[in-house]
Structure formats: C-alpha cells, structure tokens
Structure 1
Amino acid sequence: MSWGSRFFEERYAWLRLLLLDLSGVAYLTLHPLTHAPGWREWAVGGVAFAGALITYRMPFAGSLVQSFLLLLSHVADIDPTISRVGSTWALLELAMRARRPWHVTAGGLTVFAAYVVDVIGDSPLEIAGSLMGIAPIVALPILFGLNIRNSRELARRAREQVEEERRRLESESRATRADERSTVARELHDVVAHHVASMVLRVGVARHVLPDVDPRVTEVFDDVHGTGTAALADLRRLVAVLRNPDGPRKDAALTAIEPGSLPAALGAAVERARGTGIVVDADIAPEVGTLDAVRGMAVLRLTQEALTNVAKHAGAQANVRLRVTLDADALHWEVQDDGGTGTASTAKPVGGGHGITGMRERVEVLGGRLDAGPHATGWRVKTVLHPPGSES
C-alpha cells in the first residue's frame, strides 16, 4: 500500500488535521491580501484549529464546529477562507469515518445551510447561481470521502478473502496429510507387523520344540518373544494414533501411558539395556510416577531410543548414566555415555538412522528442545519438558 493510501487511514486523522491547522496558520501569517488579518480572523482561526484537533476522533462533532464557524464568518463579515477550508475538510473526514450514514447527510446539510446564509438577500437569479456553485463545494468532499471509504472496505474484504483462502488451503493440506498418515499407518502395519509377528511366532515355536536347550538360550528366547510381543502392541497403538487425526495434538508422539506404571516401564527399559552388556547407572526419581501421561510416554520412548543408540554406537562396554528427575513440575531427562569401545565420534548416531531426529521431533511436539552432542569422551542427550500449557 502506497503512502498516499495510508495517509487517508483513520489512524492518521490527527496528522491530516494537524497539517491542515499548520496550513491555516501559514495562511494567516502570510496573508495574500494587502491588509493583515485582524483579531477576529485570528480568533475564528484559533477556534477552528483547536476544534479540529480536539474533535479528530469525533468527525460529526468536528463538522458541526466548522459549520458553525463558517456561519459565524458569513454573519459577522469575517474572512471566511479558514472556515470554508475547515468545513470542506471536515466533510471529507466525516464521509470517510462516520459511524452512522445519517451523520454524513446531516453534516452536508449543515455546511450547505451555512453557505446559503451568505446569499440571503440577493436576487433570485443570484441566489440560483450561488446555489449551483455551493452544491459542488458540499458534494465533492462527500463523494471523495465515500470513495476512499469504499476503497478501504474493498481492500479489507480482499484481505479477508485472502486470509480465508489461506485457511481453506491449510485445512485441505491438513486433510491431505491426515489421509497420507492413514495410508502410511496401514502400510506400516501390513509390512512391519507381519514380519514382527512372524518372528514372534517362530521364536514361540522354537521354545516348544527345543525344551532341553541351555537355560541361557531359553532366557534369550523368552526375552525375544516378550520384546516382539511388546513391539506388536506398540505398533498397534501407534497405528491407531496415525489413523485418528482427531487425536491429541494429531501426533503419534503423544501416545499415552499410565503415569503410575512409568517407573516400572523405565526400569524394564534399563534392564533390557543391561541385557545387551552395557552398564547403566539409573537415577530415576520416584516422583516420575506422578507425571502426566503425555510426558510419561515421551520419557519412556526417549529412554528406550537413547539406550538403544548407546548399545548400537558405543558398544557393549559402554557405561551409561540415566538421570530422570522432577523439579517444580519440570521434567529433567539426561542420558550420557562414556564412549564405550569407541570414541565420542563413534558414539554419535551416524549414518542413515533417524534416532536423534525422531527424539528431537518428539520433544519439539511437547514444546521442548533436545540437546544432543559429544560430551567428554562420549555422547550426551538431554531435555527439559514442562507441563502441557505452561511456558517453557
């Protein structure tokens, strides 16, 4: 929008009237006539200037003030230039900003009447000619103001239409993403769940057909069978969330867990990690059992992913410290390893995996930020999760 268009916006009414007042002061100071303006011209001008600024928020009242000064100028035989310019500009402001349509009509008739007073007593022919000259003086500022007003209204409606179109496209985009998520969910279930179920079934068969194997092998069979069964349950929950776009926050990261079961679930994740050979020093505050379900599931998934990354990238000789504490409802979570058989660079999840990316997305959905990077000789990931709805 150009400056010329913005100049006629309602918020700049005070600036327009101030410039008008300054031009009036310049006229009185640099009077074009041979004689300087008298005290009556200055008095009328001062009232006009002050009235314009005082009533800039009330265009109808401003128009009445300027009309009265115009009438006074005609009756008292005072130079009407200031009053004529003021009444014309007041009509323009009134047409642009009037809250009620009848204000424009009333303002125009008042100014017209103030002009007519000046021609009373003239001959009928002179009166007719004067009226023909007065009509444009009154009509033009009203027409110009209404044109500006209509242009602003059209621009406002155009902006609203653009915004409505943007919201419609956003809504369609969300619907398309929801459909795509549903398709991915079905494919995920059909492909991954089929193979996991097949693995669980084969392990189950092996447990029955090999009853006399080493107990350590049986323990491994039981662990694989339990892990596979749990994975299938997790897949079903995640697929359900993906298929339901109306679920909480429309994100699989918000799958819930019963808060009271969180300490046990974290303990199970730690024991499973220890079963791979890594040494886990777990510092889990008992108060995590009071966490809300959303953050509870996030902490569990973050812990599982972090410990898996340690086993994968730092090796079986890694020492890991898990810290989960609550501080004034803020959850502090941290997993740090010493690099194990590798170094800080080999401990970093590299390659084509999406572990850290997935963890970061899960944390960002909850309004937090995941910090991940080398620390000492190993790798550290940490975050702080605040309660839903609170400022982070």
Structure 2
Amino acid sequence: MNRPWTDLVFDDRRRGVRALVYTAASATDFVLVRQPAGAGDRALAAVGLLLCLAGWRWALTVLVAQSALLVAAHSAGSGIVPSLKVLAVVTLFEVAVRGRGRAPSVGCGALALAVVLNRFGDLPGGLAPVLFKAALVAGLPLFLGSYVRMSREAAAHAREQAARRALRAEQETAAARAAERAAIARELHDLVAHHVSSMVLRVGVARHVVTATAAGPGGDAVTDPRISGVLDDLHSSGQAALADLRRLVAVLRAPGGAEPGTASLVSDGALPAVLAAVVARTGRAGPAVTASVDPAVAGLDAVRALAVLRLVQEGLANVARHAGPSARAELAVRVDGGTVRLTLRDDGGDGRPEPAAPDPGGEGGGHGLIGMRERVALLGGTLDAGPGTDRGWRLTAVLPVAAPVPEPRP
C-alpha cells in the first residue's frame, strides 16, 4: 500500500529535518523580509531561531517559551512580533502533529493566552475581536496538526488491517493446502502404497514358489533365468516405487515443509546415478537404450533434477509400452550454458505404427504427455513431442537453469 505524503513528510523520524526547515525559513524571513531594527530585535530574533531549532526535541516546552517571548517582544514594542508569532504557530502545529491529549491542549492554551495578553489593552470593549484572533491564531494550527496526525493514524491503521488480511488469507491458503496434502497423503498411503506393497510381497513369494517348483522334490533348480530376471526386476522396481511413495507421503504430511511440487526425491549430486539406474531398469524390460548424460547435471538444483528424472522415466516408460521390447532408444541429457536439454528418440521397434498425430492426453489416451508439459511449463521451459522423421517417437525438453551449474566433483 502506498503511503500518503503526509505520512512521509511528518514521520516522527523526520522531525529534526522539519525543525531545520522551519528555522531556515524563519532566518530567511528575518534577513529578506522583516529585518530586525536594532540590537534588541536582533537578540529576540536569535532567541526565536534557537527555540525553533530546539523544537525538534522539546516541542511543547519550546512553544511555552515562544509564547512568553511573544509577550515580551510585544511589550518591548519590537517590530518582529509577527515573525515570532509565525514561529509559535508552526511549533503548535508540530505539537499537534506529534501527539494527542494534554500536550496540544496546553500548547494551544499558552499561545492563546499570549495573544490575549498582547491585546489586553483592547479589553473589555474589544473582547470579541481579541477572542476571535486568539481562537484563529491558536485554533487553526491545532486543527491542521490534528488533521495531519489523524490522517497518518488512519493510514497506519489501514496498512495494519491490510497486513492482517493478507496474513489471514495466507494462513487460510496454507491451511487449505495442508488439508489437501493430508487428504492426498491418506489416499496414497491407504490405496496406492497398500497395493504396491501387496504386489511386492506377492512377487517375492512368486520368486520362491517358482524356484521350489522347478527344483522338484530333492532335484536341482532348473528355473528359466528369464523368469527369474523378470521377477527380480519386478521386485526391485516395486520396492523402489514403494520407497518413493513413502517419501512422497512424508513430504505431503510434513508441517511447514516444502510444497510437494518442489520437494526432490533425488539426493544432491545423485542425478547421473539415478538416471543410469532408470536406463538399466528399462533395458531389463526389453528396449535397448543408449544413454549419454552430461556429468554437469549433478549440479542442477533439486527442482530441475526432479523434473529431468520424471521426464526420463515417463519417456522411457512410453518407449517400453508403445515400441515394444525390440525397440532401440537414444537418450541425451546436456547442460548448455543456462539451459538443460533432454532428448529421447526411439526407432519404433515392432510396436509403434507409422508416424501419426498423438492424442492430447499422450499415447494411449493417458496423461503422461500432459503431465510432462505442465511440469516443464512450470519451470519456464519448452517441450516438443511427436513422431520421428521415419518412424518411432521423439521427445525434446529444454529447461532454464536457475543458476550457473558448477562443475561436477571428480
């Protein structure tokens, strides 16, 4: 919220600056407009300027002293009484700006009394003009100063209320997000994690049952190594998925923790090894994958490291699903200046048809391509996916790097 000019000019921290401005203006008036005539006037002017300068610290005391000086100057027949009166008016305005309560009332009464004493010779016949002049000289600066003070207080109150509303809205948003995360965490734990855990357990049992059946009663095991390899891969993949689910549930339930979209399941500097494990797991499923990963990706921040990992996982999963086990794929991840570029191509294998336009949800009517586009868009990058030049599929993603990526440790 923009602060009004009155709040900036009449801030209590700037009262010394204002005192200097008042004193400089008064000194200029004494030099150019109402020049003191004689030593007495010069002495009164000097005292008035010193009092005005001291008003930055003791405004009410200075105002009382200025009121007394005004009476003394009028009694001495000084010609600078109007200038001294202006100094007292300015000081009363300053007293009213700085605070409410007793101080403005006392200052107003002191200045009004000084005006009445200076016009005491006009009483009782000129009572009405004297009272009007006293009310005008003392009442106007009191009113203006009080108005400035109240406008500053209203602006401060409005800023405080806006800050409270913003804080309350932020707290409500955080509470809603926490409740949503808790609900998602419950569903992940109760449904997905439960079923994945059950599948891992059953695959483990199947490994033992197949081995025992093939061995026969007392014979040597003759299990087909391809069956054992598939079961071992399913078991390790299920355990990895279960571990990721548990970490994700922990992130979702962490009070005050990072948002799920920004929490990384990749340890610092471990991205090359994690990508190598993903490529190896895909190779065990059938497709032959040739990977070229720039070691500099180890220096990516957690958000981009997780994005690269998810893009590679989804892309290789699509290769295995749609191109079949006979497909050949090439994966390249490079860090080039301020961007990280991911490229994945496959030759179509025996599963993909001739090049055709993909459906909006990704291959097979799923949401993989949509999810990849959303993830890349959130980071300000671009993603291009579609049929290759001959056959097969290509996927290219370019992500901006948040900061210069350091050289990987040897």
- TM-score of the aligned structures, taking structure 1 as reference length: 0.66
Question: Does residue 95 of the first structure (1) align with residue 96 of the second (2)?
Answer: yes
Residue 280 of structure 1 corresponds to: 291
Cα distance in 2 for partners of 1:56, 1:43 equals: 20
Amino acid at match of 2:9: R
Secondary structure (helix, strand or coil) at the match of 1:322 reads strand
Cα distance in 2 for partners of 1:48, 1:378 equals: 85
Deviation at 1:343, TM superposition (A): 8.1
Secondary structure (helix, strand or coil) at the match of 1:249 reads coil
CA 1:317/1:49 → structure 2, altered by over 3 Å: closer, same or farther? farther
Give the conservation status (yes or no) of the 8 Å contact 1:319–1:340: no
Amino acid at match of 1:282: V
Q: Deviations over 1:171-214 (max 9, x none)?
A: 13212221221111111222222332343344334434444554
Give the conservation status (yes or no) of the 8 Å contact 1:347–1:378: no
Query: What is the Cα-based RMSD across aligned positions, in Å?
Result: 5.1
Deviation at 1:245, TM superposition (A): 2.0
Structure scoring higher RCO (CA < 8 A, sep ≥ 6) equals: 2
Deviation at 1:242, TM superposition (A): 0.9
Q: Deviations over 1:294-327 (max 9, x none)?
A: 956862x3343222233355654332113479x9
Q: How does 1:208-223 map to 2 (within 5 A)?
A: 208-211=208-211, 212=222, 214-223=224-233
Cα distance in 2 for partners of 1:108, 1:201 equals: 89
Residue 265 of structure 1 corresponds to: 274
Deviation at 1:232, TM superposition (A): 1.1
Q: 2:312 aligns with which of 294, 307, 310?
A: 307
Q: Deviations over 1:118-139 (max 9, x none)?
A: 245x386369667644552324
Deviation at 1:71, TM superposition (A): 4.5
Secondary structure (helix, strand or coil) at the match of 1:382 reads strand
Secondary structure (helix, strand or coil) at the match of 2:196 reads helix
Cα distance in 2 for partners of 1:238, 1:297 equals: 14
Amino acid at match of 2:242: L
Residue 11 of structure 1 corresponds to: 9
Q: Deviations over 1:265-314 (max 9, x none)?
A: 343123224443332123335x94xx7xx956862x33432222333556
Deviation at 1:231, TM superposition (A): 0.5
- TM-score of the aligned structures, taking structure 2 as reference length: 0.64
Give the conservation status (yes or no) of the 8 Å contact 2:203–2:231: yes
Q: Deviations over 1:19-53 (max 9, x none)?
A: xx69x98xx98xxxxxxx88759999x98999999
Cα distance in 1 for partners of 2:145, 2:263 equals: 56
Number of aligned residue pairs: 352
Question: Does residue 335 of the first structure (1) align with residue 342 of the second (2)?
Answer: yes
Deviation at 1:241, TM superposition (A): 1.7
Deviation at 1:227, TM superposition (A): 0.5
Deviation at 1:109, TM superposition (A): 5.2
Residue 408 of structure 2 corresponds to: none
Return 5+ residue gaps in structure 2 as ranges. Answer: 212-221, 349-353, 389-393, 405-410
Residue 118 of structure 1 corresponds to: 118
Amino acid at match of 1:90: T
Give the conservation status (yes or no) of the 8 Å contact 2:343–2:397: yes
Deviation at 1:112, TM superposition (A): 3.8
Cα distance in 2 for partners of 1:359, 1:266 equals: 18
Give the conservation status (yes or no) of the 8 Å contact 2:264–2:302: no
Cα distance in 2 for partners of 1:177, 1:135 equals: 64
Give the conservation status (yes or no) of the 8 Å contact 1:348–1:373: no
Cα distance in 1 for partners of 2:47, 2:346 equals: 83
CA 1:323/1:109 → structure 2, altered by over 3 Å: closer, same or farther? same
Residue 218 of structure 2 corresponds to: none
Residue 365 of structure 1 corresponds to: none
Q: Which moved more, 1:335-344 or 1:263-272?
A: 335-344
CA 1:135/1:81 → structure 2, altered by over 3 Å: closer, same or farther? closer
Secondary structure (helix, strand or coil) at the match of 1:76 reads coil
Q: Which moved more, 1:204-213 or 1:170-179?
A: 204-213
Q: 2:254 aligns with which of 244, 249, 253?
A: 244
CA 1:257/1:313 → structure 2, altered by over 3 Å: closer, same or farther? closer
Fraction of identical pairs, as percent: 29
Amino acid at match of 1:125: P
Q: 1:231 aligns with which of 234, 238, 241?
A: 241
Cα distance in 2 for partners of 1:251, 1:324 equals: 25
Give the conservation status (yes or no) of the 8 Å contact 1:372–1:380: yes
Return 5+ residue gaps in structure 1 as ranges. Answer: 30-36, 362-368, 388-392
Amino acid at match of 1:372: T
Give the conservation status (yes or no) of the 8 Å contact 2:289–2:328: yes
Residue 379 of structure 1 corresponds to: 396
CA 1:77/1:129 → structure 2, altered by over 3 Å: closer, same or farther? farther
Cα distance in 1 for partners of 2:7, 2:118 equals: 34
Amino acid at match of 1:249: A
CA 1:371/1:116 → structure 2, altered by over 3 Å: closer, same or farther? same
Q: Which moved more, 1:352-361 or 1:152-161?
A: 352-361
CA 1:109/1:371 → structure 2, altered by over 3 Å: closer, same or farther? same
